[in-house]
Amino acid sequence: MIGGKIEGSEETTVSSFGKIEEAKAGQLSFLANPKYEEYLYATQASIIIVNETQVLKQPVHSTLIKVPDAYSAFAVLLNQYQQIVAQQLTGIQDPVYIDATAKTGEQVFIGAFAYLSKNVVVGNGSKIYPQVFLGEGVQVGQNCIIHPGVKIYHGCIIGNNVVIHAGTVIGGDGFGFAPQPDGSFKKVPQIGNVVIEDGVEIGANAAIDRATIGSTLIKAGAKLDNLLQIAHNVEVGQNTVIAAQVGISGSAKIGSNVQIGGQAGIVGHIQIGDGAKINAQSGVSKSIEAGKAVTGSPAFDYTAALRSQAVSRNLPELEKRIKELEKAVKEFKDNIITKSSQ
C-alpha cells in the first residue's frame, strides 16, 4: 500500500495509531521530523514508518517500514483507516426529511434531522451527517463526507470525494448591493451557484458565497481551512491551499498550486498566478505573477520585504552612525571656517 521495505519481523501486527513519543505495543507510528529521532530508540510502538534515508544511531526494537516520505505514507494509512470506518456507516436514521423527488445512491448514510430538498441527488457511498441541509437541486457526488450542520443552498454542485466540515455554508448570497442616489443600497440578486470539484476539502465554519451570475468555483484538489470567506464569483485553482481566516473578495481569480497563509486578505477582481505564495496577514491589493512570493500590507515582494525588515532592525544603529557623521561633518566645517578666518 505504501511501497515500503520492512526491517524487522514481517509478522508484527498493529491495531491502532500512536505518536512516536507516546505509542504503546500494538500501535503504529511514524518518524518524519528529526526533532523526534530520540524517541525512535525508546518508543514501544510495534511498527514505525521512517524515511528510507534514516540512519540508525542505536538499536531499534520496533519493526521499521522504510519509505521515500514517511509523513505522506502515514497519511495514506490514516486515510485508508478513515475510509474503512466510514464504510461501516450506512443507512438512514430517523427522523429525517427526504423529498419524494430526491435520489440517494447505494451505501449512503443519512444522519438524523438531515433535510434533503426537492431534486437533491446524493451519490454512492456518500455520508450526510445529522442536521445537514441540502437545498433544492443540490448534487452531491460519490464518496463525499458532509459533516454535521453543513448548509448547502439550492443549485450548488459538489463533486466526488469531497469533505466539508461542520458548520460550513455553501451557496449563501454574495455581498452585492448597488448604491442609490439617496445613499441607500439596493440588493443585487445572486442567481448563480457554487461548484466544488473532486477531491476538495473544506474546513469548519467556512462561507463560500454563490455567484451573482455563473458559478463560484473551487477546483479539484483544493484544500481550504476553517473560518474562510470566499465571495461571489471567486475561482480557486487546482491543489491550492488556503489557511484559516483568509478573506477573498468577489471575482478574484486564484491560480493552481497557490499557497495562502492565515488571515490574508485579497481584494476583488485581481488574479493570483499559479504557484504564488502569500504570507500570513498579507493584504493583497494587486494581481500577483505566477510563482511570486509576497508579504506585508500592502503585499509586496517577499525577498524585498525581508531586506526591508533587516534594515528596519538596524535603524537605531544607523541613526547613531548618522549622528556621528553629522557631528564629524560639522567639526570638519568648523575647522575649515576657523582656518579660513586665520
Phi-psi region of 188 (alpha: psi -120 to 50; beta: other; left: phi over 0): beta
Kindly report the number of other CB atoms within 10 A of residue 80's CB atom: 12
d(CA 236, CA 16): 36
Exposed, middle or buried by CB within 10 Å (0-12, 13-18, 19+), for 301?
middle
Give the C-alpha separation, 45 to 48, whole Å: 7
Strand 177-179 to 185-187 pairing: antiparallel
For 255, the enclosing helix (H) or strand (E) is none
Active-site positions read 232
Residues 6 or more apart whose CB falls under 8 angstroms from that of 3 comprise: 67, 68, 73
**All 3 cell numbers of residue 317?**
544603529
Cβ neighbors of 9 (< 8 A, separation 6 or more) are 63
Residues 6+ apart with CB under 8 A from 319: none
